[in-house]
Structure 1
Amino acid sequence: MRSLLCVPIAMLLATSTAHAVPDTRAGTEHVALRDVAEQRDATRAVHTARPFSVLGLTWDGAAPDDVEVRVRTGERWSAWTHLDPADSGRGTEPLWTGRTDTAEVRARRGAADVTDELRLVAIAPDPSPAPAPREGRGGGPAVVTRAEWGADEHLMTWPPQRTTTKAITVHHTAGTNDYACAQSAELVRGIFQYHAVELKWGDIGYHALVDKCGTVFEGRAGQPWDAADAGRGDVIGGHVAGFNRNTFGVAMMGNFDQVAPTPETVRAVARIAGWKLGQVGVPPDGRTTLTAEGAPRSKFPAGARVPLPTIFGHRDVSNTACPGQHGYEQLDAIRAAARQPAP
C-alpha cells in the first residue's frame, strides 16, 4: 500500500546516464540529477563510480509528491519502488538496494516532472556482519550495541537530551525486504550515515532497529539499555517529527506495505516495548496523551493534545504509510505480547 501522497507516474519518456564524482566521506557519492539529463526527460539514470548498497534522494525546498527508484543488478532491473519522504522534509527514507552501481529515478510534483530538483545519495557501508547480540541485563532485550555494529561516532553530532517515555512508536524502514540477516548491520550503518549526515539529524533517528530474524540493534546514542542506567531517563529520538519527546522509536527493518513482518520481528518489537514501558510503569495496551510540537508532515498543529495508544504506529501522527499496512495490522499482536513477561 502506498502513501496517500502518491500520484500516478507518467510513462518513461527517455533515459540518459551520467557518472558520479566520488565523495570520499564514509563511502558516499552525491549526484545532482539536474546534471544527469535534460529537464524534459521523466527519468534520470546514474552509474556511480563504485558500488553502493543504500540510497536516498534529497532536495531543497518543496518535497515532490512522488519519488520512485529502481536499481540494476547484472542485467536485471528491480521493480520501481516508491520512497516516502522522511519527516524532516529534506529527503526520502533510505532504501536498501543490495550491491549495485546503477539506479534510475523519477519524481513528480502534481503533473510536473521535478526529477532534476533531486540529488541521489549512494552509500557504501562496511559490509562486515555484526557479532551476535549480547545478553540483556536487568530484563532488557539482547542487543547489538553501536560499537558492535560499527557506528562511526565521529558522525554523531546530536547532543543527547533526556525525556521520559510515555509511548512506543512503531516504524518500518521501508524500501525492501530483500536482505539477508548477515547484511543487517550493513543496512543499519547505511541508515545511520543517511540520517546523521545526509538528512543532518546528527544521529540515527530510531532508538532501536529490529531485523527479519528478530535481532535488535541499538540506535540513538545515549539510550540506557541496562536497568542500572534507567534512572538517567531516555533520550529524545529523531523518528517522529512533532512527537519525538516522550516516545521511544522502534523500526522494523523492511517494507510492510505488501507483506507482514516475520514472527521473529513482531516478538522482538513486543519484548522491547514491554521492557521499555515496564520501566516507567506504562501499560502496553493503555492510552496516553501527547502534546504535538509541530512539524511539516505532522497531522497535528503545535500545542495539540493528542490521545494515543501507548504503542502506536508512525502513521497515527504523521502523513506517511509507515509502518506499512501489514506492519500496522500487527500492532494489536505487539500490544498483547508486550503484556507477557519476557521468557
Structure 2
Amino acid sequence: MHALLATSIGVTCAAALTLPLAAPAPAAPVPAPGAHAPAASAAEPSGSTQSLPLRPLTEASPRATESVSPLARGLRQRDAHRFSLVGVVWDDADAELHGTVQVRARATGTGRWSGWQDLETHNTDHAADAGSAERTSGRVRGSTAPLWVGDSDGVEVRVRSGDSGPQNRAGGTAPLPEGLRVELVDPGDDPQQPPTAGDPVTVTPTTGTPATGTPAVGTPATVTPVTSPQPGALPEAAGLSLAAAESSAVNADLAPLGATEIPALSKAESEEQAVVAAGAKPFVGPRPRIVTRKGWGADESIRERAFAYTTTVKAAFIHHSATGNNYTCSQAPSVLRSIYRYHVKSSGWRDFGYNFAVDKCGNIYEGRAGGVTKPVLGAHTLGFNSKSMGIAVLGTYSAKNPPAAAVTAIAKLTAWKLGLFGRNPKSKVTLVSGGSGKYKKGANVKLNVISGHRDGFATECPGSRLYKKLGTARTSSARLQGR
C-alpha cells in the first residue's frame, strides 16, 4: 500500500460525546396483516422498531390444517411501516440458531420485492463477555446479524433448522430457538447538518523530517490548526494534548450523569500510561477525523445512561458488520443508527456494540459512547472485550474485497488509538480469555495487536477478504506511528 499522509486539526468539542438523556421512545405500531402502511409516511426523527413474531411454516397453503414442523418458522408477505434494516432475534442469548435465515423486502415507492437474502446467523460471538453486567442484565437476546435492505415497506421471512445443528434425543435436528421474531428498524432522520469531508489539512514537520507528511521517528510534529471544523466531527491532531483535553471534558460529564468510572489501573498499566501521556514515547499516529455520535445522529435516550470502561487498550479486533454492501456512503449514518437501535432495542445491549465503525469510503465513526480517547468497554468480541477495542467495517467482506479506503482508515485509526496506549501495531500481545468457545475462560492467548474477530472466536468475521488485508493495515498503521 502506498504511504499514508498524516493529517492534523486543532481543537475538539467533547460535549458532542455526552448528550442529555430521556426516557426511551416506544416501538412503532405495526399495521395489521393486509392493511397497507402509508407508502409516503415520513421516518420518525429518532427511529423506530417493529417486532413481529415468526410463526410455524409449511410448504402448503397458509390455510393448510396439517401439523407443522418445529424446524421452520417465518412470516409470509405482509405490509409494514417503513424500515431499512432487518434482523431476527430470539429469547435465549446463549442459544444458537443452527440453520438458515432468509428475508425479502419490498422497496418503498416501487413495490418491487427483492430476492431472498441470507442473514448471518452466528452473531452470538458479537456480545458482552460472560458474567459482565451487560450480559447478565436480563435484557439480552440471541440475534442474527442485521441486514441493510434500504427503504422498504413490506417483508417476508423464512427460518429453517439446518443439518449442521446439534442432534436431539430422537436423532433429528434440534428445534429452532424459542421466541423467534423479526425486527424491522427505521433509522429515523439524518442529523440537520450531516458530516461532510473536511478541508485538506497539513502537518508541518520539524527540521530533519522528510517531506512525506509523516514525522520521523522521535521527531514531534508542529500542528497547524484548521479553523471552523465540520459539525459533528472530532478534528484531527498529531499530539496528545487534544486527547487530554477531551478526556478532562468527558470526565467532567461523568459525575452528574452518575456514570461508571474507569477501573483502577494496575501498577504496570499506570506506569505505562503515564509514560505515554508524558510524551516519552513518540509512537502515536496522527489523530484521524472521527464523526461523532452526534454527527451520525445517535439517539442518546435509548442507551444506558452510564458508561463502562476497561483498564487499557492492548489490541484492536477488526470486524465486518455483515449488513451487506448495498449502501452508499451518504447512507452510512443511517446504517449506523439502524445497527445502534438493533443492538440496544432488539438485542438488549447497553449501547452500540463496537467502539468504532468505518464505511466503504474510509470515514471513521465514533461507536460506543464514553470518549474516543478512553478505554471504553465494548460488546464486539465475546471473551476478549476487556482491554481491547472493536472496529467494524460496514459491509460484508466474505466474497467481496474491502475498499482500499476502508483498509487505510483502519490503519489511521489504530495508529492513533493504539498509540495512545503504547501499542505497536505489528507486535503481539497476550490477552486473558473471558471464555469464547474457541478459548476457555482464563486462558492466556497470544494474538496480534491488530487481530481479526476470527482470531478470538470460531467465526468467519471479518470475512476472508477483509482478513487478508490486515497485514497491510498493520504495516501502514506502524508507519503512521513512525516505526
Query: Which TM-score bucket, shorter chain as reference?
Result: 0.7 to 0.9
The DSSP-based 3-state class of the residue aligned with 2:330 is: helix
Residues 124-183 of structure 1: CA deviation (Å, up to 9, x unaligned) = 012426312442234311011011111111112153224200001000000310001111
Partner of 1:77: 114
Q: Structure 1 residues 303 and 342 mapped into 2: Cα distance closer, same or farther (>3 Å)?
A: closer
**1:200 matches 2:341:** no
The DSSP-based 3-state class of the residue aligned with 2:479 is: coil
Residues 246-282 of structure 1: CA deviation (Å, up to 9, x unaligned) = 1111000000011011001000011111111111121
1:124-273 to structure 2, matched below 5 A, reads: 124-128=186-190, 130-132=194-196, 133-137=233-237, 138=239, 139-157=286-304, 159-225=307-373, 233-273=374-414
Q: Structure 1 residues 46 and 60 mapped into 2: Cα distance closer, same or farther (>3 Å)?
A: farther
Q: In structure 1, what residue type is equivalent to 2:380? A: H
Identity %: 32
Give the unaligned 5+ runs of structure 2.
1-31, 38-43, 128-140, 166-172, 197-232, 240-285
Contact 1:20–1:46 (CA under 8 A) maintained in structure 2: no
Residues 45-96 of structure 1: CA deviation (Å, up to 9, x unaligned) = 3524212111111112322112322323333423431313322471111111
Contact 2:424–2:478 (CA under 8 A) maintained in structure 1: yes
CA distance in 1, matches of 2:82, 2:143: 21
Partner of 1:304: 443
Residues 216-248 of structure 1: CA deviation (Å, up to 9, x unaligned) = 1100101334xxxxxxx4111111111001111
Residues 103-124 of structure 1: CA deviation (Å, up to 9, x unaligned) = 3222315346638741101100
Contact 1:70–1:81 (CA under 8 A) maintained in structure 2: yes
The DSSP-based 3-state class of the residue aligned with 2:336 is: helix
**1:27 matches 2:48:** yes
Which one of the candidate residues 65, 86, 89 is aligned to 1:55? 86
Contact 2:89–2:181 (CA under 8 A) maintained in structure 1: yes
CA distance in 1, matches of 2:370, 2:178: 39
Q: In structure 2, what residue type is equivalent to 1:239? A: H
The DSSP-based 3-state class of the residue aligned with 1:155 is: coil
Deviation larger for 168-177 or 110-119: 110-119
CA distance in 2, matches of 1:322, 1:108: 22
Q: Structure 1 residues 85 and 39 mapped into 2: Cα distance closer, same or farther (>3 Å)?
A: farther
Deviation larger for 137-146 or 61-70: 61-70
CA distance in 1, matches of 2:187, 2:381: 25
Which one of the candidate residues 61, 84, 98 is aligned to 1:65? 98
User: Between Structure 1 and Structure 2, which shows a larger proportion of strand residues?
Assistant: 1
The DSSP-based 3-state class of the residue aligned with 1:49 is: strand
Q: In structure 1, what residue type is equivalent to 2:369? A: A
CA distance in 2, matches of 1:115, 1:247: 31
The DSSP-based 3-state class of the residue aligned with 1:271 is: helix
**1:319 matches 2:458:** yes
The DSSP-based 3-state class of the residue aligned with 1:267 is: helix
Deviation larger for 266-275 or 66-75: 66-75
Q: Structure 1 residues 163 and 48 mapped into 2: Cα distance closer, same or farther (>3 Å)?
A: farther
Q: Structure 1 residues 46 and 245 mapped into 2: Cα distance closer, same or farther (>3 Å)?
A: farther
Q: Structure 1 residues 305 and 31 mapped into 2: Cα distance closer, same or farther (>3 Å)?
A: same
TM-score normalized by the length of structure 2: 0.61
Partner of 2:144: 92
Contact 2:414–2:425 (CA under 8 A) maintained in structure 1: yes
Q: State the aligned residue count.
A: 317
Q: 1:19 Cα shift? A: 6.4
CA distance in 2, matches of 1:21, 1:245: 47
CA distance in 2, matches of 1:113, 1:69: 17
Contact 1:66–1:83 (CA under 8 A) maintained in structure 2: no
Partner of 1:103: 156
TM-score normalized by the length of structure 1: 0.84
Q: In structure 2, what residue type is equivalent to 1:136? A: E
Q: 1:317 Cα shift? A: 1.1
CA RMSD of aligned residues (A): 2.7
Q: Structure 1 residues 50 and 292 mapped into 2: Cα distance closer, same or farther (>3 Å)?
A: same
